[in-house]
Amino acid sequence: MQNQYKKLMKKCISLAKKSEGRVSPNPLVGAVIFDDDFRIISQGRHEKYGENHAERNAILSAKEDLRGKSIIVNLEPCSHFGKTPPCADLIIEKGLKRVIIGMSDPNPIVSGRGIKKLKEAGIEVIEGILEKECKELNEIFLKNQLEKKPFIAIKTATTLDGKIATASGSSKWITDEYSRNEVQKLRNKYDAILTSSATVIKDNPSLTCRMKNGRNPVRIILDTNLNTPSGSKVYENNAEIIILTGEHVADSRIKKHKTCAKYIKCPVKNGHIDLNKAVDLIYQQGIMSILTESGGILNNAFIQENLADRLIQFVAPKILSDKTGKNFSEGCTRSDISECNNLIITSTKQLKHDIIINSIFIKDI
């Protein structure tokens, strides 16, 4: 029985992933309805923010009576009126006898209440099926709900010896086109891409999502002294742009910058944007997740401030062998290996030539 539930939960997770980049600030959710012989009757996912939840879509797409059937869903069904009616109420109304859940909802408005409502209605509730995988699927939503901060992933492309560029700054291209296609999928997944003014000035990136049917994330630029040229590619394509600049920058200077960006003044710390303050200001703009694409100094700053949640490292089978080459994280001097930042590798993926290493940071308390 447990193996059958795990198989169906994997299907829920797979369904939910199809909505990446479309449901924020809501979680990714998939649902499957089945009978006692584990025959799938219908399925659904939360497709877009503001539209039906996964359970409702699965129920509405069913072509037969659902009394006595079971539903499996990766997240606890909601019990409150939000943009849509409560899913728990609909499950009860349709006479489903069993609900299998991957994880409880961390949202305090929901947490445990949906499960309680189902049980009080006489419905069997089974919890914790592939809970670890379900939490990883919605790591962004978990961070938002528990810490009221955006989830931050650092994306980097390195050689085998951890270099992102030569000493002169040459970096195109460390990884191949297959890796660059994967990057487009990441840009589609996250609410925003964040970079520094130094990267904009040096590389003049567009930071667009070039995936078919993808969407351009919000572009966030940390520009302490407002040095980025207003004609930079990042300001093109009519995307939403946020520039975080120092509190000392005069309003008249901002007015002369003449871009379509939204300018937000942020406190400065040691000559740079205060990252802790910046992250709070970004969250206040409704940005739930950030993909950083920048140089080693900013990467290191996010890591040392315990702000980075995930590292997505594209590794090419190349060795630079240049001690003056640029590292993907630099700026610290350490004398003992015990001072390392520690991570847990959650997955690896082989592309044609390169590999992707996905890791989560073990945060300092």
Question: Annotated catalytic sites, by residue?
Answer: 55
Residues 6+ apart with CB under 8 A from 258: 230
User: What count of other Cβ atoms lies within 10 Å of the Cβ of residue 55?
Assistant: 30
User: What's at 197, amino acid-wise?
Assistant: S
CB distance 223 to 245 below 8 Å: yes
Alpha helices in 148-218 (DSSP H): 177-189, 197-203
The DSSP line for 5-71 is HHHHHHHHHHHHHTTTTTSTTSPP-EEEEE-TT--EEEEEE--STTS--HHHHHHHT--S--TT-EE
Helix, strand or coil, per DSSP, at residue 225: coil
Pairing of strands 355-361, 343-350: antiparallel
Partnered with residue 357 across adjacent β-strands are: 313, 348
Helix, strand or coil, per DSSP, at residue 327: strand
By CB atoms closer than 10 A (0-12, 13-18, 19+), residue 324 is exposed
Instruction: Give the separation between CA 195 and CA 200, rounded to whole angstroms.
Output: 7
